[in-house]
Amino acid sequence: MAKPSVDLLQRVPLFAGLDARELAQMADSFKVREYAAGDTLATEGQSGVGFFVIESGEATVSVHGDEVGRLKAGDHFGEVALIDEGARTATVTADTALVCYGMTFWEFRPIVEANSQIAWKLLQALAKRLRAAELR
């Protein structure tokens, strides 16, 4: 089954501190997902359990019905859902045929629980994001 490349995962800020071996371990837990133009990948306000990295295609991100961004190959969304299983903060809709790699929290959690080095690096990445958000 296809899985994301280490290079693709390394572009995700949450995973940027992981080494090649750790990224390869993460890659093994992703599953390829394909969507048609017009499909909704995530819906604002609904619970989210998955994280996605886009391999090919484009999608629109909207909040309260207003477009706030566009996603393309190499972009990602839903990483906080890997940790808190909380509600989606935006809706993501495929503009074109889309190929993504997805991982659910129940696939992610055992990796983190079994590897304290990965857990620490992810915690550091989240702390950096929190610090940056507080400065805005």
pLDDT at residue 48, as a whole number: 79
133 within some domain: no
Low-confidence ranges of the chain (pLDDT < 70): 1
Its domain, for residue 97, covers 33-116
Q: What is the CATH number of the domain that holds 42?
A: 2.60.120.10
112 within some domain: yes
75 within some domain: yes
Cα distances from 60 to residues 32, 92, 127, in angstroms, run 20, 6, 27
67 within some domain: yes
Cα distances from 11 to residues 25, 36, 43, 47, in angstroms, run 16, 25, 24, 25
59 within some domain: yes
The C-alpha angle with vertex 59 and arms to 93 and 130, in degrees rounded to 5, equals 95
pLDDT at residue 24, as a whole number: 92
Return the axis-axis angle of helices 116-135 and 20-27, rounded to nearest 10°: 90
23 within some domain: no
* Amino acid (one-letter) located at 33: R
Cβ(119)–Cβ(15) under 8 Å? no
Q: Considering its fold, how many domains does the chain have in total?
A: 1
